[in-house]
Structure 1
Amino acid sequence: MTDMRERAPGVREKGEKEAESRRRLPLPVWLIGGVVLILVLSHALPPFRNYQLATIGAYFTVTAGLTVLTGLNGQLSLGHGALMATGAYGFALAQNRWLSLPLSVLAAVLATTLAGLVIGLAAARLRGPYLAGLTLAVAVVVPSVTSTFHETFNSDMGLSVALDPPPGDIPMERWQAWFCWAGALLTAFLLALLVRGRFGRDLRAVRDDETAARLAGVHVARVQVQAFVVSAACAGLAGALFAVLAQSVSPGAFPLTLSLFLVMAIVIGGLGRLGGALWGALLLVLLPALAQSAGERAGSQRLEGNLALVVFGVVLVVVMLAAPGGLASIRFRSLRRKR
């Protein structure tokens, strides 16, 4: 009887997890629903809101990859802004040479994947603040590369991106929203497939206890490198999407603060959840816009430049106090309390 009582909580938790997995909608349903929602919103919103919608899609692409790296694998990266810059410059150089959008996006993803592989091999030997320091050094070094090879990257002036006009009579902003969200939804779909399988289990095992994972037969270093490569590929695709949005690439578009904002966004949204990455992408667009409008009303340019970071910090503190698991965990916490 004692053994039965001791096992009951474990059996109950297992039953709850199985019931929750049965309640999940299949991934193709989520994908089709996302496509329909974006089509409806892009037709209903004005041009500027369509541009903001496209920007959210571009941010979602990078936050989804970063939340897999940091939330599921436990590797802290402060250099994803530099990886986005790598993808953006790779896209610009390829697009100006070939004038082929699919090939240019592929070139951007491959270039950033290679950079992520190199960084990941070094990161697999580092832990904690040393890993954060390595990625921070990458974020600092990449802008200086554009100044060193100014003949190729045009230094601080950056590169313009040659793009063909949208097909037919489609407005440019609507086409940008479709293009960015096509990349974002495809990224989210592929990442969801990965994290629901064996790769996701290995990520969580390495995050929770490297020694136990190693004893269970998981190759810890390989999993960490794979996680960094996957996250870097997402960052490279996001950089290409931002190049399409701005139709130009420059070092000023990818400052060090961008990497910090990305980390804060996934923490506020909810680490390890793709829904949290979407919340983080929304905040990355909405909070700076609100801070800019508040700074313009106050009539202070200095306040306008620093207010976004202050707002992010305040939101981070409030969310961590109210919902330590991030915004994506609020719904699950309320359901558990009701049960």
Structure 2
Amino acid sequence: MATLSLPTRGPLATRLARHVGIAVIGLVVVLVLLQILSPFRVTQFTNMGYLAIAAAGMTLLTGLSGQLSIGHGAFMAIGAYTTALLLGDGEGNLPLVVVLLVATFVSVVVGAIVGVAAARLHGPYVAGATLALAVAVPAVAIVFTEQLGGEQGLTLVVPPAPGWLLDASFFLTGTEMDDTGYIALVAWVCLLVTFVVLANLSRSRVGRVWRALRDDDVAAELAGVNLSRARIVAFVVSTACAGLAGAVMALSVRIAAPSGFGLSLSLLLLCVIVLGGLGSLAGALVGAGLLTFLPQVVRQIATNAGMDGISAAQLSPLIYGLVVMAVILMAPSGLVGSILRARHRRRGHHTTMPTTRHGAPAMANPRRSE
């Protein structure tokens, strides 16, 4: 159950300018953090970035359109393997932005194929179909060992940062940007661009159609909504985010291997959006940050308490599992969703939240123009 803030009604240009302005401020904050964090923390910062990208697409799919996917780790694998195949040993001349776009496009194509089939399904059947995908896709790498590297996976060489970026970084900060900082910057630029696109899309007519589909698909169909097309578009947008996240993940770990894209990754993404709050981009970011940094904090506390390294590492999954359970019981709308509900109560908004399965606010007429 999650709470979504009501979409802002305003001119498209004004809304876009506001989101771009927030993204620019976010980029400045990222640049500052990259200068003050240790290399290990920068790596964690990168991990948070690609998790948030995938979670943003998944929260849009589940929180706005009402479709539950348990197979988005598979689309991350598609993006990662595409990136590894394009970069390989680093002898190619493809710019990194082209590699990221191609990886996203390949994920979109596969997502469109799967989305056409999933559009015929409803409720738990969609989850079951994507679950099968999550199990099947990593196994493809084992079957096609010569092309995809088998269990060992494919290694890749990240292209060096462009000279103009290195010069700009040195001019602004007085320090040289290393490879770890470069990948972190790439991850967060991708994240900010993704959030700007999704924020505007969710507040457009398309987003209102998705909300109508989630709240009452029968009423939406009577209002003239093409249910299949709406479901397919939501699924494709979500898989594009997953593919981009997988590409950034491959750049970060320098390898695409089936062990990194098992069912546990898809379930981790589900935990992220449950913690943050379904349908909230801020919730996706908060959830990604919590699941990125919480295990390390738990291990550090356990080590300081006298536990050995192995026991401390085994304690981390237990703790964040308990955290997820606590959030579900005490804040069923997620952390961000609960804050939004409390803010609405303080402002005296007495609009009754609908009792849909996702607990989101009522949907405006999906055919209403911007």
User: Same fold per TM (> 0.5)?
Assistant: yes
Distance in 2 between the 1:243 and 1:122 partners? 28
Between 1:225-234 and 1:294-303, the stretch displaced more is: 294-303
Structure 1 counterpart of 2:127, which letter? A
Distance in 2 between the 1:298 and 1:217 partners? 61
Measured at CA, do residues 150 and 183 of structure 1 come closer, stay the same or move farther in structure 2, by a change above 3 Å?
A: same
Distance in 2 between the 1:81 and 1:252 partners? 11
- 1:259 is aligned, of 266, 286, 301, to 266
Secondary structure (helix, strand or coil) at the match of 1:218 reads coil
1:81 aligns with 2:73: yes
Aligned to 2:319: 311
The C-alpha deviation readout for 1:201-256, integer Å capped at 9, x for no partner, is 00000001110000111101101000110000000000000011011111111121
Aligned to 1:140: 135
Aligned to 1:322: 330
Between 1:225-234 and 1:296-305, the stretch displaced more is: 296-305
Structure 1 counterpart of 2:75, which letter? L
Counterpart mapping for 1:157-236 below 5 A:
157-166=152-161, 167=163, 168=166, 169-236=176-243
- 1:240 is aligned, of 237, 247, 261, to 247
- 2:20 is aligned, of 15, 28, 44, to 28
Given that 1:295 and 1:301 are in contact with CA atoms closer than 8 Å, whether structure 2 keeps it comes out as: no
Aligned to 1:13: none
User: Could you tell me how far 1:282 is from its partner in structure 2?
Assistant: 0.5
The C-alpha deviation readout for 1:244-302, integer Å capped at 9, x for no partner, is 10111111111211111110110110000101110111122112323444666533737
Secondary structure (helix, strand or coil) at the match of 2:158 reads coil
Distance in 2 between the 1:108 and 1:78 partners? 21
Structure 1 counterpart of 2:324, which letter? L
Aligned to 1:5: none
Distance in 1 between the 2:143 and 2:311 partners? 31
Distance in 2 between the 1:130 and 1:335 partners? 36
Distance in 2 between the 1:99 and 1:291 partners? 43
- Normalised by the length of structure 2, the TM-score is 0.82
Q: Which has the bigger relative contact order, CA under 8 A and spacing at least 6?
A: 2
Structure 2 counterpart of 1:319, which letter? V
Distance in 2 between the 1:32 and 1:300 partners? 40
Counterpart mapping for 1:280-295 below 5 A:
280-293=287-300
1:124 aligns with 2:124: no
Given that 2:156 and 2:254 are in contact with CA atoms closer than 8 Å, whether structure 1 keeps it comes out as: yes
Greater helix proportion: 1
Given that 2:332 and 2:338 are in contact with CA atoms closer than 8 Å, whether structure 1 keeps it comes out as: no
- Normalised by the length of structure 1, the TM-score is 0.89
Given that 1:50 and 1:177 are in contact with CA atoms closer than 8 Å, whether structure 2 keeps it comes out as: yes
Given that 1:99 and 1:162 are in contact with CA atoms closer than 8 Å, whether structure 2 keeps it comes out as: no
1:270 aligns with 2:277: yes
1:335 aligns with 2:320: no
Distance in 2 between the 1:82 and 1:323 partners? 29
Structure 1 counterpart of 2:140, which letter? V
- 1:102 is aligned, of 97, 106, 119, to 97
Structure 1 counterpart of 2:307, which letter? A
User: Could you tell me how far 1:323 is from its partner in structure 2?
Assistant: 1.9
Counterpart mapping for 1:13-92 below 5 A:
26-92=18-84
Aligned to 1:154: 149
Structure 1: 5+ residue stretches without partners:
1-15
Identity of aligned residues (%): 42
The root-mean-square deviation of aligned C-alpha atoms, in Å, is 2.2
Structure 2 counterpart of 1:116, which letter? G
Distance in 2 between the 1:337 and 1:164 partners? 51
Given that 1:165 and 1:172 are in contact with CA atoms closer than 8 Å, whether structure 2 keeps it comes out as: yes
Secondary structure (helix, strand or coil) at the match of 1:238 reads helix
The C-alpha deviation readout for 1:38-88, integer Å capped at 9, x for no partner, is 111111212111111111111111010000001111111111111101100
Distance in 2 between the 1:192 and 1:315 partners? 28
Aligned to 1:4: none
User: Could you tell me how far 1:37 is from its partner in structure 2?
Assistant: 1.0
User: Could you tell me how far 1:103 is from its partner in structure 2?
Assistant: 2.0
Structure 1 counterpart of 2:313, which letter? E
Distance in 2 between the 1:128 and 1:302 partners? 39
Distance in 2 between the 1:138 and 1:17 partners? 34
Structure 2: 5+ residue stretches without partners:
167-175, 348-370
